[in-house]
Chains A and B, each alone.
Chain A
Amino acid sequence: MSESTETALGLTESRSIGGRILKAVVYLLVLTMFAGPLLALLVGAFGDIKDPTQLSIVPSGFTLENFDIAFDQGVLKYLLNSFFVVGFGLLLQVSVSVLAGYALARKVFPGMTLAFVAILATLMLPEEILAIPLSVVLADLPVVHFNLIGTLAGMIVPLGAWGFSILVMTEFMKDVPRELEEAARIDGAGDFRIFAQIILPMCKPALGVIGVFGFTMIWDQYLLPLLVATDSSSYTLPLALRTLRIDPAVTPGVVMAASLLALLPSVIVFLFFQRSFVSGLSSGALKG
């Protein structure tokens, strides 16, 4: 037993028969507890489930009827709305974060502390606390007088400046070596070239982190779309689940089918970018 694999409980390195059985039982229990309900959702989406009591992790038949009905109910439209919001939302969020991160990490200028504190302060002001005034502001943006209520843009722009992403970017950009930048500057490169051609390409790991976190954060939005959407034409998929459920003609199987479509994108993103996700969690991603 080498020292490097030693763990607090010493359970995982146990090789005895008792230890192995215990391990198997523990892992099975954990899987049932956390993945079990999701398995039931998967089975339910493809099963003939007319009543909530039929939900089970044991498949009973296979049908695509739930998806057919879900699409008849406009689920495809809601899914497209969700993709639109997450696509443009993420693009905006990442652009805003890398630009702000560059200024905060690579520049020294008067008023810098103030800008930094302002970004930090936004972390104290989540959508929940601002819900009511935010809906007023969205109905009539100060100065420019746009009304974003009922538009998908209204679900996107408020998410553009996310303090968490900006802080992750700032921390990461601080660690890019100065020498590269100085050399480029001597060659006469301006700030925008240095930003785009030197700093940004070196920030791929951090881009992965803010990309994954941004995606799951935007995909999970509920209150903001609820404030903005006025009718079903601007619903996102998570928002539409409740409407589907309330409809007496819609069976739980259909709700499960729509739910499956609503969870697949973020689960896929997580599985593909797991490394970014975990590194983000363990290094300052705790804010949020």
Chain B
Amino acid sequence: MSLDQADPAALPAAGPAPRKVGRRGGGAADRRVRGRRGGRWWTPWLFLAPALILSLYFKFIPMVNAVTMSFQEVQPYLGNRWVGTDNYSTVLQSHGFREAVWHTIVLAVGQTFGAMALGFALALLMEGQSRRLGFVRSAAFLPVVVPMAVVAELWRIMYHPTGDGMLNSILGLAGMGPSGFINDPDTSMASIMVTGIWRGAPYDMMIFLAGLTSVDRGLYEAARVDGASRWQRVRHVTVPGLRSVFSILFILAAIRGLRVFTEVFLLTNGGPNGSTEVVMTLIYKLGLEQNRLGVGAAGAVLLFVATLILTVIVQLLRRRESK
């Protein structure tokens, strides 16, 4: 399976190779190119117009606005006032924002590694072709397609903080608890993480399963002949064979983790006591509830820069690795 198709760096390379034949290019060689190009010069742009116009309106203009707003005090009806880097210093110096950044990183790291570890374990346990196995895999995958809003409402009820709440009764059977879960500042972050892992692990499992089919079976055989144990097979054959899958999953989950919003908004909305406030819930509160659009925009630009840096670093590492 070509998991590498997802590599953004690989995509532009698959782009137009025969560009050197320009519009003015004449002669016999041009006939084939014109055949490919067909029609007038603007035909391709006509096909691209809907995508480009929608992207312009809902991606690029908002992005430019975010940058300009981040240097302004936004005042509806009064006109915006340039304030230089004031918004950025407000954001960066606020204790709340730094806390939120820390929470976001903790949550992103915890969810990413938790979901990958569990997903990998599930994939190893459920690799195979029997029909029964296919059923178990489909059932395990269901959380991925359940809307996040439903996941959050369901887990809110499961996390009921009294001893007879659903998860607390299970903890009780094991002689633990009751836990306050999302209502207790000490456990709220871990609870959100568990919910995120519950929804993320089956997704990772499917990707790992796809990756596992491309691991060379002959190597398993060879490892067996050499007397390798199960654990050694996994460690020295499977894991190296899945290296690119690990790195793709890691970057996707990390980037998604940085912009986490819905589950936090619905489970705790940053509480109790700000113990789960993440960057996006803070931006939402600043920008859309308190109407401090400039400050909120500055936070969003910082979030974008963080995502961009993370992407670039991982791309560079992967490129070096593949050399």
- Residues on A lying within 8 angstroms of B by beta carbon are 3-13, 26-27, 30-31, 33-35, 37-38, 40-41, 44, 52-53, 55-56, 95-97, 99-100, 102-104, 106-113, 115-126, 128-137, 141-142, 157-158, 160-161, 166-167, 171, 174, 178, 182, 185, 190-191, 194-195, 216, 219-220, 222-223, 227, 238-239, 241-242, 245, 252, 255-256, 259, 262-263, 266-267, 269-271, 274, 278, 281-288
- Asked whether, in the complex, the Cβ of A259 is within 8 Å of the Cβ of B153, the reply is yes
For B67, the closest partner residue in chain A by CB is A133
Report the minimum CB–CB distance from B48 to chain A (whole Å): 5
**Please, how many angstroms separate the alpha-carbon atoms of A171 and B4 in the complex?**
12
Neighbour of A132 across the interface among B58, B165, B262, B283, CB < 8 A: B283
CB contacts between A and B, total, < 8 Å: 347
For A168, the closest partner residue in chain B by CB is B5
For B260, the closest partner residue in chain A by CB is A128
**B116 interface residue per 8 A CB criterion:** no
Instruction: Kindly list chain B residues whose C-beta atoms are within 8 Å of the C-beta of A185.
Output: 35, 38
- Asked whether, in the complex, the Cβ of B48 is within 8 Å of the Cβ of A137, the reply is no
Interface pairs (18), CB distance under 8 Å: A7-B128, A53-B165, A119-B51, A119-B55, A124-B307, A130-B66, A131-B287, A132-B296, A137-B58, A160-B50, A191-B47, A222-B261, A223-B261, A259-B150, A263-B150, A266-B146, A284-B5, A286-B3
Known interface pairs A107-B44, A282-B207. Does A118 touch B284 (Cβ–Cβ under 8 Å)? Answer: no
- Asked whether, in the complex, the Cβ of B143 is within 8 Å of the Cβ of A6, the reply is no
Instruction: Kindly list chain A residues whose C-beta atoms are within 8 Å of the C-beta of B41.
Output: 109-110
For A10, the closest partner residue in chain B by CB is B230
- Asked whether, in the complex, the Cβ of A142 is within 8 Å of the Cβ of B57, the reply is yes
**Please, how many angstroms separate the alpha-carbon atoms of A81 and B54 in the complex?**
22
- Dominant secondary structure at the A interface: helix
- State which size class the interface on B falls in: 35 or more
10 nearest A-B pairs in the assembled complex, by CB-CB distance: A12-B128, A282-B210, A284-B5, A238-B149, A133-B65, A286-B6, A103-B47, A100-B51, A161-B54, A128-B259
Report the minimum CB–CB distance from A255 to chain B (whole Å): 6
- Residues on B lying within 8 angstroms of A by beta carbon are 1-3, 5-6, 8, 11-12, 14-16, 18-19, 21-23, 33, 35-39, 41, 43-45, 47-48, 50-52, 54-55, 57-63, 65-66, 69, 122, 124-130, 132-133, 136, 138-143, 145-150, 153-158, 160, 162, 164-166, 198, 202-203, 206-207, 210, 212, 215, 217-218, 220-221, 230, 233-234, 237-238, 248-249, 252, 259, 261-262, 265-266, 280, 283-284, 287-288, 293, 296-297, 300, 303-304, 307-308, 311
- Asked whether, in the complex, the Cβ of B57 is within 8 Å of the Cβ of A141, the reply is yes
Instruction: Kindly list chain B residues whose C-beta atoms are within 8 Å of the C-beta of A112.
Output: 15-16, 19, 44
Instruction: Kindly list chain A residues whose C-beta atoms are within 8 Å of the C-beta of B265.
Output: 222
**Please, how many angstroms separate the alpha-carbon atoms of A65 and B206 in the complex?**
38
Known interface pairs A161-B58, A167-B11, A267-B146. Does A287 touch B6 (Cβ–Cβ under 8 Å)? Answer: yes
Instruction: Kindly list chain A residues whose C-beta atoms are within 8 Å of the C-beta of B210.
Output: 278, 281-282
Instruction: Kindly list chain B residues whose C-beta atoms are within 8 Å of the C-beta of A157.
Output: 54, 57-58
Known interface pairs A118-B52, A285-B6. Does A262 touch B283 (Cβ–Cβ under 8 Å)? Answer: no
Report the minimum CB–CB distance from B49 to chain A (whole Å): 8
- Asked whether, in the complex, the Cβ of B150 is within 8 Å of the Cβ of A238, the reply is yes
- Asked whether, in the complex, the Cβ of B300 is within 8 Å of the Cβ of A103, the reply is no
- Asked whether, in the complex, the Cβ of A96 is within 8 Å of the Cβ of B126, the reply is no
- Asked whether, in the complex, the Cβ of A12 is within 8 Å of the Cβ of B133, the reply is yes
**Please, how many angstroms separate the alpha-carbon atoms of A234 and B65 in the complex?**
26
**Please, how many angstroms separate the alpha-carbon atoms of A165 and B269 in the complex?**
32
Instruction: Kindly list chain A residues whose C-beta atoms are within 8 Å of the C-beta of B252.
Output: 286-288
